[in-house]
């Protein structure tokens, strides 16, 4: 399954708690699309959110966001992970 990193530029500050609620909604909608939101990172002051997600296609990942809370990303990148 391909791995993606998406980037949300919300354009205003956001709290970790608000993103956690959106993520919880993603988890409720993702199985139907064979998508797995794994982790996210939030720059609260700038309103920038990075989501790491396994998905069959980028569209599937974006569809889950759209259905769950409507906050679709500004970018989505197929990525390979290293450590």
Whether residue 41 contacts residue 56, with contact meaning beta carbons closer than 8 Å, is answered with no
Whether residue 4 contacts residue 57, with contact meaning beta carbons closer than 8 Å, is answered with no
Q: What is the binding site for its own copies (CB under 8 A)?
A: 3, 5, 7, 16, 19-20, 23, 38-46, 48, 50, 52, 77-83
CB of 2 to its own copies, least distance (A): 11
| Beta-carbon count within 10 A of 49 CB | 24
CB of 32 to its own copies, least distance (A): 21
CB of 6 to its own copies, least distance (A): 11
């Amino acid at each position: 399954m391909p791995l993606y990193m998406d980037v949300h530029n919300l354009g205003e500050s956001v709290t970790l708690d608000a993103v956690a609620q959106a993520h919880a909604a993603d988890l409720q909608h993702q199985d139907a699309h064979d998508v797995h939101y794994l982790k996210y990172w939030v720059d609260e002051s700038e309103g920038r959110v990075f989501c790491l997600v396994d998905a069959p296609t980028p569209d599937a990942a974006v569809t889950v966001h759209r259905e769950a809370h409507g906050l679709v990303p500004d970018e989505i990148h197929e990525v390979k992970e290293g450590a």
